[in-house]
């Protein structure tokens, strides 16, 4: 569902593919995907880059190219830059790019803890565990035989994330896997509902080893900046897992 055009820059993009081709031609850029709402306002730009150049140089090139070539003034908060060789498991933590709302209590960041997939005769179940300090949020979902566990991994991730916040809910709107350079990338479209307003979010990750795990990280990537605006839930609502080494969180 599209966002409110008033929340985004006034520039209208009539040919997103042309913008992506221009970004893809920049040194160090492997692939890109521009996300707009139905009115053509820019929501986010997802870029996969090599490690040949520094991220600051790539971001500057992107901003300059969009401004001079298309009249688009995009902010760095709207650019999601992922490294081709990066390991999202080591880098991801929620709420890193958005300041907490005024009046909220500063809390430890949410971290990925564990992903478990249990196969059954009819399909399987996915359990995702996220951690904050010494507390955990656990989410679960299931998938049927013959389908991929990727969608279930995304849904379980969102259920776990909802344990930590009291003023928003999330829904998986779609999961798409497509080539990104010489690799495959997974793109997750999520709709965040906060106080009756639906905000579209998009996250991406390079598929490495396991599609379900990569989808989990793409889901976290989608909501990373958004959750910084939310109100943390009380710790009493969180679940502490009995078989987890809490000192490692």
- The CATH number given to whatever domain includes residue 60 is 3.30.300.30
- Mean pLDDT estimate for the chain: 78
| pLDDT tens figures, 6-30 | 444 456 788 888 898 899 888 888 8
DSSP state string for 185-246:
EEEEEEEEEETTEEEEEEEEEE--S-HHHHHHHHHHHHHTTGGGGSPBPPGGGSB--TTS-G
55 and 177 both lie in a single domain: no
Q: Is the pLDDT reported for residue 188 higher than 90?
A: yes
Residue 43 inside a domain? The answer is yes
100: phi then psi, degrees, rounded to nearest 5: -70, 145
Instruction: Give, as one character, the DSSP assignment of residue 101.
Output: P
- Give the CATH number, domain containing residue 108: 3.30.160.270
220 and 185 both lie in a single domain: yes
77 and 134 both lie in a single domain: no
58 and 104 both lie in a single domain: no
216 and 131 both lie in a single domain: yes
Query: Strand 42-49 and strand 79-83: pairing?
Result: parallel
Q: Is the pLDDT reported for residue 172 higher than 90?
A: yes
Which residue in 46, 70, 43 sits closest to 58, CA to CA?
Answer: 46
> What's the burial of 106, exposed, middle or buried (CB within 10 Å: 0-12/13-18/19+)?
exposed
Q: Is the pLDDT reported for residue 238 higher than 60?
A: no
Please identify, among 24, 48, 83, the residue that sits at the C-terminal boundary of a domain: 83
Please identify, among 83, 111, 137, the residue that sits at the C-terminal boundary of a domain: 83
| pLDDT tens figures, 89-102 | 333 444 444 444 44
36 and 103 both lie in a single domain: no
196 and 170 both lie in a single domain: yes
149 and 209 both lie in a single domain: yes
155 and 72 both lie in a single domain: no
Domains contained in the chain, number: 2
Cβ neighbours, 10 Å, residue 170: 25
127 and 181 both lie in a single domain: yes
Higher confidence at residue 86 or residue 55?
Answer: 55
With pLDDT > 90 as the criterion, what percentage of the chain qualifies?
A: 23
187 and 69 both lie in a single domain: no
Q: Which residues form the domain of 218? A: 96-240
Residue 247 inside a domain? The answer is no
68 and 149 both lie in a single domain: no
């Amino acid at each position: 569902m599209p966002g409110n055009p008033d929340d985004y820059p006034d520039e209208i993009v009539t040919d997103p593919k042309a913008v992506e081709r221009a970004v893809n031609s920049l040194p160090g850029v492997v692939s890109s995907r521009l996300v707009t709402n139905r009115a053509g306002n820019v929501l986010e730009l997802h870029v996969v880059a090599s490690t040949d150049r520094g991220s600051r140089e790539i971001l500057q090139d992107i901003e300059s190219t969009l401004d001079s070539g298309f009249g688009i003034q995009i902010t760095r908060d709207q650019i999601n830059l992922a490294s081709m060789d990066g390991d999202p498991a080591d880098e991801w933590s929620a709420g890193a790019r958005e300041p907490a709302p005024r009046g909220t209590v500063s809390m430890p960041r949410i971290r990925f803890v564990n992903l478990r997939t249990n196969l059954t005769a009819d399909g399987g179940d996915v359990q995702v565990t996220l951690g904050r300090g010494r507390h955990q949020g656990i989410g679960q979902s299931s998938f049927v035989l013959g389908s991929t566990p990727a969608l279930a991994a995304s849904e379980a991730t969102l259920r776990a994330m909802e344990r930590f916040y009291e003023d928003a809910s999330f829904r998986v709107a779609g999961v798409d896997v497509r080539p990104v350079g010489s690799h495959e990338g997974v793109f997750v479209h999520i709709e965040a509902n906060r106080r009756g307003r639906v905000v579209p979010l998009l996250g991406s990750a390079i598929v490495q080893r396991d599609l379900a795990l990569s989808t989990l990280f793409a889901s976290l990537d989608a909501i990373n900046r958004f959750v910084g605006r939310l109100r943390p839930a009380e710790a009493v609502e969180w679940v502490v897992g009995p078989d987890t080494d809490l000192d490692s969180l």
